[in-house]
């Protein structure tokens, strides 16, 4: 499952950093997840919890702090950038559903809010970033 693959790379990254910084225990992990990243947060937290346990780190899901990063598009034509949330005001409910499940189709529904061009790209709002790791050195 997608969430498990993502959890595995998060856990590997965190453990690498923890070892580099001599952290013996982990207390809080802050993640930023793109608005358009299709991710079940419950499954992700469950996966991280068990993967950390396998690696000998005892950290519960209450210690995972997850922020959502808003999706931002940037026009290739005029350089204007705009938020997905703002663009949603101009499209129908049905189209929103489509974009949520298949972000790639956004190009069919959205246009640059400044010049109207359909030549734009997703600048932010995909992927998962480990923002900070808090732990103890003893
Ligand atoms: Zn534009």
Residue 11 has a pLDDT of 96
Per-residue pLDDT tens over the stretch 12-61: 999 999 999 999 999 999 999 998 887 889 999 999 999 999 999 999 99
Residue 97 pLDDT more than 90? Answer: no
- What's the pLDDT at 51? 97
Q: pLDDT value at position 111? A: 85
Report the chain's mean pLDDT, rounded to a whole number: 89
Distance from Cα 4 to the centre of ligand 1, integer Å? 38
3-state SS assignment for residue 82? strand
> What pLDDT is attached to residue 59?
93
- Local confidence band at 105 (pLDDT 50, 70, 90 cut-offs): low
- CATH for the 2-69+125-136 domain, from 3.60.10.10, 3.30.2320.50, 3.40.50.1370, 2.60.120.10: 3.30.2320.50
Concatenate the DSSP letters of all residues of 95-138 into one string: HHHHHHH-GGGHHHH---TTT--S-EEEEES-SEEEEEEEEE--
Domain ranges of the chain: 2-69+125-136, 72-124
- CA 119 / ligand 1 centre spacing (Å): 8
Highest-pLDDT range among 65-69, 97-101, 121-125: 65-69
Distance 74 CA to ligand 1 centre (A): 8
How far CA 65 is from CA of 68, 71, 73, 83, in Å, comes to 10, 19, 25, 23
């Amino acid at each position: 499952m997608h969430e498990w693959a993502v959890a595995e790379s998060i856990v590997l990254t965190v453990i690498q950093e923890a070892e580099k910084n001599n952290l013996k225990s982990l207390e809080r992990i802050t993640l930023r997840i793109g608005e358009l990243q299709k991710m079940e947060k419950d499954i992700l937290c469950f996966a991280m919890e068990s993967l950390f346990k396998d690696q000998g780190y005892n950290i519960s899901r209450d210690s995972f702090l997850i922020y959502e990063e808003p999706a931002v598009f940037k026009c290739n034509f005029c350089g204007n950038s705009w938020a997905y949330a703002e663009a949603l005001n101009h499209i129908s409910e049905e189209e929103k559903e489509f974009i949520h499940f298949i972000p790639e189709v956004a190009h069919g529904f959205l246009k640059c809010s400044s010049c109207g061009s359909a030549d734009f790209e997703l600048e932010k709002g995909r992927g998962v970033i480990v923002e900070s790791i808090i732990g103890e050195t003893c």
